[in-house]
Amino acid sequence: MRKLSVTLSSLLLTLLGCAHVPAESPRVSGQLADAQRRADIRLQLASAYFAEGQYATALVELDQAELTGERRADVLGLRALVLMQQGEVPGATRNLKQALQIEPEHPGLLNNMGWLLCETGRYDEGQTYFRRALAIRSYPTPARALFNAGRCSLRAGRHAEATEFFRQALSVDPALSGAHASLARLAFESGDYARAKAHMLRVLTSDQAAKDDYQMAIAIERKLGDRMAEQSLTQQWKKRFPGAERDVGALLNEADEQ
């Protein structure tokens, strides 16, 4: 299944620049700079472990990063993401709040807090954080916050609102496969199979298509009555995801019932 995130990379923070180093004396300045470099190395290692799903090891590296000096928003923010993946909501919330105390206008942190609130059912509060992130003109990836706002609306049962957010995300990043996949599912549920197919084709031609995307594409072709396309996608699905054949029968039965 497509993960929260969005994939992990959809939430991974862009590492913040090094903190300002006071220049009380050359010796003190050099010591602080050395501590910053050690913290940066630990943070990079933690990011790599996080991306590989090695969460416990990532936390160890983040603890080491904090031992080298003052508390940093990027360290706290990444720890929050690790804890989110581990289901440690209180710890993730605490770390994100502390990070935002240090960097209150960091759009990546605001986006992550918005998603954390949405995951815990606090949809309106989450949307407030997405709006704050989107209001920052320097935000390099606004499509990410728009996509997460759409997912948040979807969880709240606000399909029309979610559709608009996904469309806005695509207006910023037309190749955003998650937004195409979400719009395909919404179109499928409303019976607009041609539109669903158009969006799903954008997903399948990317390098980010997941197993459930192929499942949806096959269900769409079944609804459209295109047996050749259905069979072709089924073969692609089996080739890309070995063992998928056991899911095909259940999937097509489900599609027929919808």
What is the per-residue pLDDT for 134? 97
What is the per-residue pLDDT for 4? 40
In a domain, 9, yes or no: no
252 contacts 219 by C-beta, under 8 angstroms: yes
In a domain, 101, yes or no: no
Tell me how far apart the alpha carbons of residues 61 and 44 are, in angstroms, rounded to a whole number. 9
Q: CA geometry: angle at 5 spanning 1 and 160, to 5°?
A: 90
Tell me how far apart the alpha carbons of residues 116 and 58 are, in angstroms, rounded to a whole number. 19
pTM: 0.82
Query: Which position has the token pair 């998603």?
Result: 115
Structural domains of the chain, count: 1
Tens-place pLDDT, residues 137-164: 999 999 999 999 999 999 999 999 999 9
In a domain, 142, yes or no: no
What is the per-residue pLDDT for 26? 54
Low-confidence ranges of the chain (pLDDT < 50): 1-9, 13-25, 27-28
73 contacts 16 by C-beta, under 8 angstroms: yes
- What CATH number corresponds to the domain at position 182? 1.25.40
What is the per-residue pLDDT for 246? 60
In a domain, 125, yes or no: no
Tell me how far apart the alpha carbons of residues 156 and 78 are, in angstroms, rounded to a whole number. 26
Instruction: Give which of 224, 202, 200, 223 is closest to 212, Cα–Cα.
Output: 200
Tell me how far apart the alpha carbons of residues 65 and 76 are, in angstroms, rounded to a whole number. 10
In a domain, 250, yes or no: yes
In a domain, 87, yes or no: no
User: Domain span at residue 185?
Assistant: 175-258
In a domain, 213, yes or no: yes
Instruction: Give which of 171, 170, 255 is closest to 214, Cα–Cα.
Output: 255
In a domain, 211, yes or no: yes
162 contacts 187 by C-beta, under 8 angstroms: no
What is the per-residue pLDDT for 19? 41
62 contacts 79 by C-beta, under 8 angstroms: yes
